[in-house]
């Protein structure tokens, strides 16, 4: 009897929730199903991730960064999920692979991609000039047409200068919005949505994508366009610095891992370790990944490991959630949950504040540097 009382007492201390869900009827919304039936294992982690995102990260005082890795835009998730999140003010700044932005342009240019299956004859696809991304297929001409679009646009004299990737993507988005208005069709583009909402998009490795490959070709033709990656490092750090300096919070939502994850999280070590400014780390860390932590790779690194680098505030670790699943499963559910449970937020339009935020960071650094 005493052992039972001790056990019940400890259970109350750790705050469990009894597993006794109502039966699924088929009439539930996605948000209701997540709250009621996603109770344990990675279903439970996805529920926690959705709830922290909606109840805490989407508070007005939190600046939300989104890191995007993996081939999400070819699968249509840019159109179905990322654009609604951006337009709703649920994402304030983005770090993406260049590949996601390149494939985003296929949809903007009305170049079709198709559902298929993974068990195709790849040699036959190659011989018939068909490209495969697992179970997505499209004509090789799609790549050639998209390459031509980027070379013609970025080869214009207006791009013949040094700029960060946020400015590059903003100007591409501006063109795609104007193109959509001219032809009377929605752009279906994350780049266009980011332009409309003033949401800066950065690429951590601008040379590692077909956009970068086409920029390299333009360089051979004498283009004066230079991508200032160091500007990106300071701009992204300034976003987080500005979000936190007046008592606000910073949250990161990481889809996949890789370079976008590191580039988003390194903002805190840049502020603390390199610039020597007082800071404690991101307040919220939410990640969807299929990478294991025990291999030592960054993609699988946990929030507590990130905390040792100063990337996550140690006092906020209880609000950190890692869900081990595929982003193509989690993202539509998270988007549906957020849109059902939260009214749209006012757009922060961080792109419009880039110069001011960058200058504020520079002034804080120089002031600290002068003090030694």
Secondary element (H or E) of residue 176: helix 165-183
Residue spans of beta strands (DSSP E) within 162-320: 162-163, 201-202, 226-227, 249-255, 284-289
Within 10 Å of residue 149's Cβ, how many Cβ atoms?
20
Q: Which of 244, 261, 311, 348 is catalytic?
A: 311
CA 207 – CA 213 distance, rounded (Å): 6
Contact 253, 68 (CB under 8 A): no
CA 83 – CA 63 distance, rounded (Å): 17
Within 10 Å of residue 4's Cβ, how many Cβ atoms?
8
- DSSP-derived letter for residue 55 is I
Is 311 annotated as catalytic? yes
| Helices and strands (H, E) in the chain, number of each type | 17, 11
CA 314 – CA 306 distance, rounded (Å): 10
CA 152 – CA 309 distance, rounded (Å): 43
- Alpha helical stretches, state H, 53-121: 77, 83-87, 98-108
Contact 189, 253 (CB under 8 A): no
Could you list the active site residues? Answer: 311
């Amino acid at each position: 009897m005493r052992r039972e009382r001790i056990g019940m007492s400890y259970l109350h201390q750790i705050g469990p929730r009894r597993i006794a869900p109502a039966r699924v009827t088929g009439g539930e919304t996605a948000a209701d199903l997540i709250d009621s039936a996603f109770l344990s294992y990675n279903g439970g982690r996805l529920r926690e991730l959705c709830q922290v995102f909606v109840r805490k990260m989407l508070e007005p005082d939190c600046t939300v960064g989104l890191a995007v890795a993996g081939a999400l835009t070819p699968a249509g998730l840019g159109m179905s999920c990322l654009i609604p999140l951006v337009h709703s003010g649920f994402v304030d700044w983005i770090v993406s692979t260049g590949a996601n932005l390149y494939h985003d342009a296929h949809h903007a240019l009305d170049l079709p991609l198709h559902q298929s299956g993974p068990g195709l004859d790849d040699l036959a696809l190659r011989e018939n000039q068909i490209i495969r991304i697992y179970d997505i297929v499209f004509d090789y001409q799609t790549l050639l047409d998209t390459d031509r679009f980027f070379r013609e646009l970025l080869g214009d004299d207006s791009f013949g200068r040094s700029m960060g990737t946020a400015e590059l993507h903003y100007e591409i988005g501006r063109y795609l919005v104007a193109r959509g208005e001219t032809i009377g069709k929605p752009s279906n583009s994350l780049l266009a949505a980011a332009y409309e909402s003033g949401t800066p998009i950065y690429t951590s490795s601008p040379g590692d994508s077909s956009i970068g490959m086409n920029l390299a070709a333009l360089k051979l033709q004498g283009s004066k366009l230079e991508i200032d990656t160091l500007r990106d490092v300071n701009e992204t750090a300034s976003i987080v610095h500005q979000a936190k300096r007046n008592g606000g919070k910073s949250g990161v939502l990481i889809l996949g891992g890789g370079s976008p994850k590191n580039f988003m999280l390194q903002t805190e070590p840049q502020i603390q370790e390199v610039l020597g400014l007082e800071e404690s780390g991101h307040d919220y860390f939410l990640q969807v990944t299929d990478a294991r932590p025990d291999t030592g790779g960054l993609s699988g690194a946990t929030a507590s490991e990130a905390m040792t680098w100063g990337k996550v505030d140690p006092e906020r670790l209880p609000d950190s959630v890692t869900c081990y699943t595929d982003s193509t499963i989690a993202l539509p559910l998270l988007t549906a949950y957020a849109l059902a449970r939260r009214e749209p937020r006012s757009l922060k339009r961080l792109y419009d504040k880039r110069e001011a935020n960058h200058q504020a960071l520079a002034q804080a650094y120089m002031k600290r540097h002068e003090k030694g």
